Structure 1
Amino acid sequence: MIKGIIPFILSIFWLWQSGSVGATNLSIQNKTGQSFSSLNRYVYLIKLDDKIINPITYEYVHKAIQQAEKEQAQCLVIELDTPGGLLNSTRSIVKDIMNAQVPVVVYISPQGARAGSAGVFITLASHIAAMAPSTNIGAAHPVNIGGEEDKGSWKEFFRELSRYRQKEREGKEEEKEAKKGEGEGKKEEKSEKVKEPKKQPKEETEEEAPQKSTSPMQDKIINDTVAWVRALAAARGRNQDWAEAAVIKSVSVPEKEALEKNVIDLIASDISELLEKIDGRTVAIMDRTFILKTKDVEIRHIPMSARQRILDAIINPNIAYILMILGFYGLLFEITHPGAGFPGIAGAICIILAFYAFQSLPVNYAGLALIGLSLALFVAEVKVQSFGLLALGGIISMLLGSLMLIDSPLAFMRVSLGVIIPIVLSTATIIIFLISAVLRVHMRKSVTGQEGLLGEIGVAETDIMPEGKVFVHGEIWNAITNKGVDVIGKGERVKVIAVEGLKVIIEKLK
């Protein structure tokens, strides 16, 4: 029996060892470029459709990468269409892509889409970069947006970039002129040698011109961004010079030129063609290589959650501005109608949501203060009779504050005039209506108290010689005739001409 058990145990041990060796062999194959047989036959797809890159966008991409890694998908495809966005959020997305354990494919799509500013960095960081026809990529200005230093210096920043480009062009023209004069006399050669030491420093390095700008922070932004974008391009084997030009010169190219310049890897008309073209491509991730098997795979969409959609919408400058104005309306109504409750609560919620968005946007606090001043002026107009002067000041203050509220050179980061003008006009209409209503109330004859008795018609309850009683305004009053000379009989109609304490002065109605 023992003789039978020993071979059985040895056979189990041999099978276990064989399995271990097989597993080791599979691991080695994975590291040497074999296709991952354990990867599932589907890809994940997320869409950044005309999205401003912001903290919510980063959260969306971050969770999508985590899900693709957990499910061992063939790859994650990011369908990108963005004008740009916040630098911190862009850096976070790029960091996630660079450290992802699953291939990340950035596809600039659909036709007419673009990868501007932040989109350039995200595309360069991807393992595979693709573009649809009639799309473009570029213009990666290192714009300082939201919560960073040196706010409000956009014009000066771009002015310095323009100066740098101008100096670069002048340097190239001088080089051409120098080459043309090489075949001329020795005097000209000497004069050129004299000029060269003065002009050469301008052309020594591309970073030297930006360092002469008035703001050290601008230099830091430019130099840091250039180094970053070159590092991304180098890591993915893409055109480093073009990447730098996209930052310094704000160049932008269509899909065909991007492919020629080695900015992207391929052009695909739709997602199906993209997956067909990347099938069989080898992607290096850390110390491993993936051979993608994306032909005829299942595409699984990862939509934004309801929470992400709401917060992403709030961060839009136009939505944030509208929320702030609605909040001010609610507070204005609560102040002028104490105890209403709901308008004040709703207004406070709207203002809190607006300030949540403002923490990620380049808010000009002078503009915010002007809008706050307009609210104070509107409240004062209701409380004090200025005949519209305070309201006019409030409307002007709101208009100026709205125009100044978001301080950015980028159109997509500013509040649209198409939003500002209707809101200011509607506010002016509401305030004018309220003022006219208040004026009508003030001009209306009083119908209560002693003032309400003036001019009222009544009937003598007794003979009035010169004192007696009259029935006026539903009440019986002590009365005295005007100057105490008239005699009014009981039942005659009288008119109140004055009120003195608890007596009315009357005269006979003629």
Structure 2
Amino acid sequence: MSVERVSRFLPVLFLCCILATAFGTPAGAGPEEKVLVLEIAGAITPASDNVIVDAIEKAENEDFEALVISLDTPGGGLEETQVFIKEMENTSVPVIGYVPESGKAWSAGTLILMGTDIAAMAPFTVIGSAQPVQMSAEGTEPVEDEKIINALVKFSVSTAKKHGRNETFAEEVITKNKNLDAEEALASGVIEYVSPSIPDLLDQVDGEEVKGKTLETGNARTETYEPPLPLAFLRLISNPVISSLLLTIGLYGIIFGISNPGAGAEIFGVIAIVLGLIGTGFDVNIGAIFLIIVGVGLMLLEIQSPGFGVFGIAGLVSLVIGSIFLVPMGAENIYTPEFRRTLTLTIVTPTIVFGLFLVFAVYKVAESRKKKPVIGAIIGDSARTIEAISPDKPGFIRYSGEYWQARSEEEIGKGEKVEIIGKEQEMLVVKRKS
């Protein structure tokens, strides 16, 4: 190719280079960074521990830059709180605690906030009041046992020390129920940032060194964590109000069922108590298996009883709830989210189909019990001959779309209308319809 021809293409090549520079991918650019946001609203319950485990595993497996825990809680169980903090400390993912606008992180929430790698609060939010309390007939009472108080203080101080936070506050928040607003917490070294929103907070922490990792959160995309179906249901019944209500309804249901046999209230009472126990921390797998066994038993019992009623409904409910709880929870390191969704459908769908099949079977059994005996039902019905019938020569008639052999004490021609007056083994006895 001559120099003259090459020179003709130089302007075009130059323009292509400019466009590539303007619209191409910048050098060193990598995939978009993302941050997982877990919202904790309400009390810290046994379900909260399952949720934090699942969220952490999702963040680890899907390469999230950090996990932000948005805390708006009045507190919760001590054991659950300790498990929650332990899970945060054991993960390699940087954990950022944040009290959102109009939120609060009292009691257990304060301890969790102090256990995060980076702690932050929105303006005008409050943390504190972590003295343990216990339930009583009159409501809640402060725990005065020095053994419990000293152990909790040591745990709180150790957590604060591990993250370089104010150890005095970590003690006084328990012994004196001390409270701090956002500005006071920042000035006291309890938190590191005050921010009005999560995006603003991510801009502030960009470049921080956490767990040997430099955070790149300035332009990160946020994704809100959504728990799988079993965890969402467990989260619902773990609410202290709902779990207590389930236990109360279950108790009264059993009492009512015993005092009024046949109503079936005791069955719903047992189911409510099992759900209430699961909500308060009872082993989920044992509860799931128990519900499935109860469900199958109730469906079989319904087949033996007339009509489709409380046993069938309660059995179907038990089967479905039990199968939902059988789906493995907190196993992101073993199963991908897509596989877990498939697993949920694989377990729950056959249960629903099986339950509906049992419902259909119960309906058919009930329907057959309501039917009159076949012989009594057809006497007096009308049919039509499809061939001539006589006393010496039986023939066939058409009845309800079916062919029946019949005989008559009189001569009846083909195509005539007859009335069924009896049955002898497999043969009908008819007469001419008047």
- Aligned residue in 2 for 1:99: 90
Which structure: greater helix fraction?
Answer: 1
Larger Rg: 1
Amino acid at match of 1:157: V
Partners in 2 of 1:153 and 1:319 — Cα distance? 17
Partner-residue secondary structure (3-state), 1:43: strand
Amino acid at match of 1:120: T
Please list every run of 5 or more consecutive structure 2 residues that lacks an aligned counterpart in the other structure.
1-27, 283-434
Contact preservation (8 Å) 1:120, 1:137: yes
Distance 1:153 1:224, change over 3 A: farther
Please list every run of 5 or more consecutive structure 1 residues that lacks an aligned counterpart in the other structure.
1-35, 159-217, 361-510
Amino acid at match of 1:129: A
Partner-residue secondary structure (3-state), 1:309: helix
- Aligned residue in 1 for 2:187: 260
Contact preservation (8 Å) 2:95, 2:116: yes
- Aligned residue in 1 for 2:249: 326
State how many pairs are aligned: 255
- Percent identity of equivalent pairs: 34
Structure 2-normalised TM-score?
A: 0.54
Deviations 1:357-380 (A, max 9, x none): 4567xxxxxxxxxxxxxxxxxxxx
1:122 aligns with 2:105: no
Q: CA deviation at 1:118?
A: 0.7
Identify the match of residue 314 of structure 1 among 231, 237, 241.
Answer: 237
Partners in 2 of 1:38 and 1:99 — Cα distance? 27
Distance 1:273 1:143, change over 3 A: same
1:425-444 equivalent positions in 2, closer than 5 A: none
1:62 aligns with 2:53: yes
Distance 1:154 1:331, change over 3 A: closer
Q: CA deviation at 1:356?
A: 3.3
Partner-residue secondary structure (3-state), 1:53: coil
Q: CA deviation at 1:238?
A: 1.0
Q: CA deviation at 1:307?
A: 2.2
- Aligned residue in 2 for 1:354: 276
Deviations 1:204-233 (A, max 9, x none): xxxxxxxxxxxxxx2221211121111111
Structure 1-normalised TM-score?
A: 0.46
Partner-residue secondary structure (3-state), 1:85: coil
Partners in 1 of 2:120 and 2:35 — Cα distance? 16
- Aligned residue in 2 for 1:219: 146
Q: CA deviation at 1:152?
A: 10
Deviations 1:315-339 (A, max 9, x none): 3332233323433454355335433
- Aligned residue in 1 for 2:406: none
1:157 aligns with 2:153: no
Deviations 1:400-438 (A, max 9, x none): xxxxxxxxxxxxxxxxxxxxxxxxxxxxxxxxxxxxxxx
Distance 1:277 1:152, change over 3 A: same
Partners in 1 of 2:117 and 2:45 — Cα distance? 22
CA RMSD of aligned residues (A): 2.8
1:237 aligns with 2:229: no
Q: Find runs of 4+ consecutive structure 1 residues off by over 3 angstroms.
A: 36-40, 142-146, 151-158, 328-337, 355-360
Distance 1:91 1:135, change over 3 A: same
- Aligned residue in 1 for 2:43: 52
Partner-residue secondary structure (3-state), 2:143: helix
Distance 1:228 1:324, change over 3 A: closer
Partner-residue secondary structure (3-state), 1:264: coil
Q: CA deviation at 1:267?
A: 0.8
- Aligned residue in 2 for 1:141: 131
